[in-house]
Every structure is written in structure tokens, then in C-alpha cells.
Amino acid sequence: MTKPLIAANWKMNMTTGESVTFAKRLAEEFARLEDRDVIIAPPFTALYPVAEILRNSGIHLAAQNFHWEKGGAYTGEISAPMLCDIGCRYVLVGHSERRILFGERNEEVNKKAATALAAGLKPIVCIGETLGERESGRTFDILARQIKEGLNNISPDDIESVTLAYEPVWAIGTGKTATTEQAEEVHRFIREEIGGIFGKAKAGETAIIYGGSVKPDNIAGLMDQPDINGALVGGASLDFESFAKIIKY
């Protein structure tokens, strides 16, 4: 059975001091939590000090992005070996904001996923449809393509280290949330697609989490769904009390 996974994506928020204060509180309250995994993804500037605080706490550190090359003339980028060096265990790949604002395509998502796995990082691969795509009935076509192309050439052995995050773009930061029924329908479809590529057994072991205006008042309903294994939390993860309630759902 897949252990529930609650991940915080702080995006371009939190100074180093704010990140450290938050991480200390988190480590004190949720140290060595065994029945679920908790992950936080601070901005790059806070990764190292937060890693020091979370060391041996059982709470995992993630980066929000990285480049698939190991090094070179890529001004402003950061590599997988650099992330591993400071203690990251997870990394977000293909977040909708990276796709929409920075033009990342499935091809780049695939390169990043493969590079992360090769480096020993666990990629959280984000997929999802826009409002226009949903309203035109293309949700499943879009997701199938993102899964097929984003996980191209990933081995069945490696898929267990991949987390898929379904984030309907129309529900991110808008206050709108897919109903529990809508979310479960899509998560079930994603698991079936994974099963078709990697086998039913592997699909059952793959974590699929929901991201899209997750809040304390809707997390329990989402987690009650059989194919939803956790949540990728944005705005609600910036407030400690709010995020703590989500972790405790």
C-alpha cells in the first residue's frame, strides 16, 4: 500500500529566515512521523539551511526545479548533483507554472525525470489540463500524452520512485477545487494509464497526489478517495497552522 504523501510547494515565497523558522516548527511537531511522508520545497536560497534543520527529522526536502545537465554554461540553473549534495531527496518536475510561464514541454519534463532518477532523486512529475482543455473534453487526451511523453523510457523498476501529481491548471491558486468525484475520476484514469505502460502491479505502487487549491477543509475528502495518495499544497502550505492541519488530516 502506498504511504500518504503531503508535499508543500512554497514557490517564490519565504525568505531564508522565514523558511528556517517554518522548518524548525515543522521538525519539532512532526519529527519521525511514520504513517505518512511530509515534503517541503522551499526556494533555492533556503534549501541548504532548511536541509540542516530537517536532517534526521523524517521530513523530506524537495527542490522546485532543476536542469537536466550535470553542469556547464547554464546561467541561473541548478543541477541534480547540486541538489543531492545539499540533501534534497525529491524534486518537482513539470509543474504547470514551469510549463505555462517558461515553456517547458513534455520532452524537457522527460529529460528531467530521467536525470533525477539517475541521480538518486525522486521526481514529482506534475501533469494537468487547462480550463479550456477540460471544457473541450480533452482532459484525458492531454493527460495521456503528458504521461506517455513525460515518462518515456522510464523503466518499470524506476517508476516506483516517481510520484505523479495531478494539478488541474484551472484549480491552482484560483480557489476552485475539483470535486472529490472529479479528482478521483482523473486519478483512476492516471493509474490505469500507468498500468497500461508499466503493469498493474507497478500502477498500484505508484503514488498519485492531487494539487489544486488544497486546504484544511477539503483534504479529508480528497484523501478518502481510493486513488488519491496525497496532496501537493501551494498557498495553504505557506501558513504553518494551515499546513499542519493538512498534514494531520
Residues 42-72 have pLDDT tens digits of 999 999 999 999 999 999 999 999 999 999 9
Task: Please give the distance of CA 30 from its chain centroid, rounded to a whole number.
Answer: 20
Taking Cα atoms as reference points, which of 204, 244, 220 lies closest to residue 30? 244
Residues 209-229 have pLDDT tens digits of 999 889 999 999 999 999 999
Q: Which residue out of 60, 67, 95, 187 is catalytically annotated? A: 95
Q: CA of 206: how far to CAs of 28, 110, 140, 199, in Å?
A: 29, 17, 19, 11
Residues 167-212 have pLDDT tens digits of 998 877 676 768 999 999 999 999 999 999 999 999 999 999 999 8
Is residue 104 part of the annotated active site? The answer reads no
Please say whether the beta carbons of 222 and 4 come within 8 A.
no
All cell numbers assigned to 44? 533555492
Q: Which residue out of 167, 184, 187, 193 is catalytically annotated? A: 167
- Cα separation of 203 and 194, whole Å? 5
Q: Read off the pLDDT band of 1 (50, 70, 90).
A: low
Residues 133-168 have pLDDT tens digits of 988 999 999 999 999 999 999 999 999 999 999 999
- Cα separation of 59 and 36, whole Å? 10
pLDDT at residue 172, rounded to an integer: 75
- Cα separation of 190 and 213, whole Å? 20
207-210 and 163-166: which strand pairing? parallel
- Cα separation of 14 and 33, whole Å? 24
Structural domains of the chain in order of their starting residue, each with its CATH number: 5-248 (3.20.20.70)
Q: Is 102 exposed, middle or buried (0-12, 13-18, 19+ CB in 10 A)?
A: exposed
Which has more pLDDT, 97 or 1? 97
pLDDT at residue 211, rounded to an integer: 95
Taking Cα atoms as reference points, which of 243, 238, 241, 233 lies closest to residue 18? 238
Beta carbons within 10 angstroms of residue 136's beta carbon: 12
- Cα separation of 46 and 41, whole Å? 9
Question: Angle 11-164-117 (CA atoms, 0-180°, nearest 5)?
Answer: 90
- Cα separation of 101 and 90, whole Å? 22
pLDDT at residue 104, rounded to an integer: 97
Is residue 184 part of the annotated active site? The answer reads no
pLDDT at residue 131, rounded to an integer: 86
